[in-house]
């Protein structure tokens, strides 16, 4: 028996799904709370889309325990889908359906304010086929949000959007969080995950490699921070690799072509800076490179073997009870 | 019509009249070909036409061309294109019930058949005249069961074929022989024995017999009516099972 808290919108335990003998989701655990944005990231074939399809009740799991808004997606999928807003990968609308008609069809009403908010004001009579890629994505988002759902599932949210449109969509998603809506975001865009997500779940081969806030994942898997500066001839002798190498958090010091590179944990940045200030010499070309979520997860996804699953990802959970195999 | 099903039917009906393939095959093709072939054999009753006026024989036959165009071309292409483009997936994700799309398609198909038939009769009436209905109940029954059977076949084809292009290709392959041998081509009495045998096995031939023969008073066509009724039941059951599988998962 899995215990759900009042704020839990999605709880998944031990989800497994296979297609033709190939297991695409393998014992996955996942939670999304109200007002939380959780990102599923991973390479193609990691099982992200299958996971959200099971959460929505579009696919039946082979095994696992799922509750979404208190409902079992496998047996109460139709009821559940009316409560969830979704923007799914590889889904479209009829070419000749107009924007206003799409809203009428999916929501039973027109919402000119929402169309305006997403830059579709004045396009109400435009046919779906006449919309640009960005306009289509924004329309899908409008359709996902129009009924003010408590859970929104967004698969490849900003694919095909220009930078300006992308920022507009991100602002809208941020707004959802403040309204208490739970968002499950499937993305390849790690910048998007870092910008939007409270928690990120990194997947590979249907399993969770690690999960945590973007900052936690960067701390755990990010490459070392690097402080670089030029050391012209005649610089104070105290700026030696040996001295820098003794500073807290510093792991490696190298010098190439008159440039010093100090690599280490993020705290090393402060210690190197303090050491330079202490000796009264601040290099004019000092630069700092801090690892991003992108760096951290590329490293994690490339490094991890298929059986390498983070421990403690689903702490405080109870053994799942299966909902039945191959139904 | 504020329910999801009602909204879906209304949207599908609007889209139907915006679809060129539908307009051509369901509303234009039967009328044009009826006008051409209906005027090709005169109006003098002939044995080749079971003793009927050839023009009116074709008027009574061509309602089933509308049925075939709807069931073999319009619905399969429409449905397959929805599956190919992920429209069904979006409907499923938006919470439309698993039956709602199949039912909306069935309603749209039946409305298309009714509309196409009305246009056909409206054009035929002033040109060739409408033949008197000898057995109106039998004609309406044959027409209704034939429409249900072909709508179900259309839904079945649309849920099986992977793309609009494949549905269009197969639809044409099924439609034109059915049209030529089973409704709008030469009368069976003018065919050679081989063609007549083949025509006898075509579902559309049985629907046409079930409509035309009681309409013109040629025969009650109870055998054909029974075949059409069986076809309607079987096709509906199979299409419903397939639709449930496809639309619940949005594929």
Same domain flag for A31 and A157: yes
B89 touching A, CB under 8 A?
yes
Assigned domain for A134 exists: no
Q: Which helix (H) or strand (E) holds A222?
A: none
Q: How many CB atoms lie within 10 A of CB A163?
A: 8
Same domain flag for A181 and A206: yes
Distance CA B56, CA B41 (A): 10
Pick B93's closest partner by Cβ from A56, A97, A101: A56
Same domain flag for A18 and A74: yes
CB–CB contact B86 A90 (8 Å): yes
**Closest CA–CA distance from residue A91 to any residue of chain B (Å):** 4
Same domain flag for A189 and A267: no
Eight-state DSSP code of residue B143: H
pLDDT tens digits, A133-147: 878 888 888 888 888
Distance CA A55, CA A156 (A): 16
Burial class (CB in 10 A: 0-12, 13-18, 19+), A179: exposed
> Across A51-60, A82-91, A235-244, which has the greatest mean pLDDT?
A51-60
- Mean pLDDT along residues B10-34: 93
- Mean pLDDT along residues A180-204: 89
Same domain flag for A157 and A35: yes
Asked whether the beta carbons of A100 and A107 are under 8 A apart, the reply is: no
CB–CB contact B90 A93 (8 Å): yes
pLDDT of A320 above 80: no
- Mean pLDDT along residues A150-157: 88
Write the ipTM: 0.84
Domain count, chain A: 2
Same domain flag for A253 and A299: no
What length does chain A have?
Answer: 327
Assigned domain for A245 exists: yes
CB–CB contact B11 A59 (8 Å): no
Please give the residue that has the higher pLDDT: either B139 or A214: B139
pLDDT tens digits, A241-293: 888 889 998 988 988 888 889 988 888 899 999 988 888 888 888 999 887 77
Same domain flag for A203 and A263: no
Q: Report the pLDDT value the prediction gives residue A13, as an integer from 0 to 100.
A: 94
Assigned domain for A129 exists: no
pLDDT confidence band for A299 (50 / 70 / 90): confident
What residue of A is the nearest CA neighbor of B1? Answer: A108
Same domain flag for A199 and A238: no
Same domain flag for A174 and A210: yes
Is pTM beyond 0.80? Reply is no
Sequence-ordered strand ranges (E) for chain A: 8-19, 22-33, 37-41, 63-68, 84-87, 151-155, 182-187, 199-204, 207-212, 225-230, 250-256, 259-264, 287-289
- Mean pLDDT along residues A210-233: 84
pLDDT-above-90 percentage for chain B: 68
CB–CB contact A106 B94 (8 Å): yes
CB–CB contact B89 A77 (8 Å): no
Lowest mean pLDDT among A41-50, A165-174, A280-289, B82-91: A165-174
CB–CB contact B89 A90 (8 Å): yes
Domain of A160: which CATH number? 3.40.50.300
CB–CB contact B11 A101 (8 Å): yes
A90 touching B, CB under 8 A?
yes
Q: Report the pLDDT value the prediction gives residue A17, as an integer from 0 to 100.
A: 93
Same domain flag for A282 and A236: yes
Assigned domain for A319 exists: no
Enumerate the residues of chain A whose CB falls inside 8 A of the CB of residue B80. Answer: none
Enumerate the residues of chain A whose CB falls inside 8 A of the CB of residue B92. Answer: 58, 81
- Mean pLDDT along residues A213-220: 83
Pick B7's closest partner by Cβ from A92, A94, A105: A105
CB–CB contact B2 A94 (8 Å): no
Angle at A31 between CA A29 and CA A33, to 5 degrees: 180
Residue B16: closest CA among B104, B100, B142, B91: B104
**Whole-Å CA distances, A263 to A16, A48, A251, A272, A295:** 41, 34, 6, 10, 15
Say which residues have a Cβ less than 8 Å from residue A293's Cβ, sequence separation at least 6: A190, A191, A193, A194, A200, A214, A217, A218, A222
SS (H, E, C) B29-56: HHHHHHHHHHCCCCCCCEHHHCCECHHH
pLDDT tens digits, A87-115: 887 778 999 999 999 999 988 888 888 88
Assigned domain for A321 exists: no
Q: At what angle do helices B54-69 and B29-38 cross, to 10 degrees?
A: 160
Where are the domains positioned within chain B? 4-249
Same domain flag for A78 and A157: yes
Assigned domain for A122 exists: no
Domain of A283: which CATH number? 3.30.70.980
Q: Report the pLDDT value the prediction gives residue B149, as an integer from 0 to 100.
A: 97
**Closest CA–CA distance from residue A251 to any residue of chain B (Å):** 50
**Whole-Å CA distances, A276 to A270, B97, B144:** 10, 68, 91
pLDDT tens digits, B141-165: 999 999 999 999 999 999 899 899 9
Same domain flag for A79 and A228: no
Structural domain boundaries enclosing A52: 8-83+149-220+295-303
């Amino acid at each position: 028996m899995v215990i759900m808290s009042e704020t839990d919108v999605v709880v998944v335990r031990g989800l497994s799904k296979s297609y033709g003998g190939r297991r695409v989701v393998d014992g996955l655990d996942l939670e999304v709370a109200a007002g939380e944005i959780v990102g599923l990231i991973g390479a193609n074939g990691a099982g992200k889309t299958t996971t959200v399809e099971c959460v929505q009740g579009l696919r039946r799991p082979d095994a696992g325990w799922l509750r979404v808004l208190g409902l079992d997606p496998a047996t109460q999928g139709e009821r559940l889908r009316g409560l969830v807003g979704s923007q799914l990968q590889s889904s479209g609308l009829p070419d000749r359906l107009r924007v206003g008609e799409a809203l009428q069809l999916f929501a039973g009403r027109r919402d000119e304010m929402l169309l305006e908010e997403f830059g579709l004001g004045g396009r109400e009579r435009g046919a779906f086929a006449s919309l640009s890629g960005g306009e289509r994505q924004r329309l899908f988002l409008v359709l996902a949000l129009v009924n003010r759902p408590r859970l929104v599932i967004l698969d490849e949210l900003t694919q095909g959007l220009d930078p300006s449109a992308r920022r507009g969509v991100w602002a809208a998603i941020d707004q959802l969080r403040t309204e208490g809506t739970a968002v499950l975001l499937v993305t390849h865009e790690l910048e998007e995950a870092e910008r939007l997500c409270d928690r990120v779940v990194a997947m590979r081969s249907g399993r969770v490699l690690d999960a945590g806030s973007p900052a936690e994942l960067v701390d755990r898997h990010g490459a070392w921070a690097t402080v670089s500066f030029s050391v012209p001839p005649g610089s104070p002798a105290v700026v030696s690799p040996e001295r820098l190498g003794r500073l807290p958090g510093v792991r490696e010091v190298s010098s190439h072509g008159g440039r010093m590179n100090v690599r280490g944990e993020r705290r090393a940045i402060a210690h190197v800076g303090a050491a330079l200030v202490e000796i009264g010499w601040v290099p004019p070309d000092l630069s700092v490179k801090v690892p991003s979520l992108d760096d951290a997860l590329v490293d994690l996804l490339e490094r991890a073997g298929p059986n390498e699953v983070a421990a403690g990802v689903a702490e405080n959970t109870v053994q799942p009870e299966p909902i039945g195999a191959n139904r | 019509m504020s329910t999801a099903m009602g909204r879906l039917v209304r949207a599908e009906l609007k889209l139907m009249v915006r679809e060129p393939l539908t307009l051509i095959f369901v509303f234009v093709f039967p009328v044009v070909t009826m006008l051409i072939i209906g005027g090709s054999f005169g109006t003098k009753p002939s044995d080749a036409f079971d003793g009927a006026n050839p023009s009116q024989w074709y008027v009574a036959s061509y309602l089933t061309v509308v049925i075939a165009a709807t069931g073999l071309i319009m619905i399969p292409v429409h449905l397959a294109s929805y599956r190919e483009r992920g429209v069904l997936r979006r409907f499923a994700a938006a919470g439309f019930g698993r039956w709602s799309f199949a039912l909306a398609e069935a309603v749209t198909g039946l409305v298309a058949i009714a509309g196409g038939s009305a246009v056909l009769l409206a054009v035929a009436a002033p040109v060739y005249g409408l033949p008197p209905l000898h057995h109106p109940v039998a004609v309406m029954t044959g027409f209704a069961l034939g429409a249900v059977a072909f709508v179900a076949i259309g839904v079945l084809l649309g849920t099986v074929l992977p793309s609009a292009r494949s549905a269009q290709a197969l639809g044409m392959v099924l439609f034109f022989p059915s049209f030529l041998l089973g409704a709008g081509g030469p009368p069976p009495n003018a065919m050679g024995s081989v063609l007549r045998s083949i025509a006898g096995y075509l579902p559309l031939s049985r629907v046409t017999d079930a409509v035309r023969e009681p309409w013109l008073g040629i025969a009650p066509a109870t055998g054909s009516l029974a075949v059409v009724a069986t076809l309607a039941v079987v096709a509906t059951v199979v299409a419903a099972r397939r639709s449930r599988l496809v639309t619940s998962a949005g594929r």
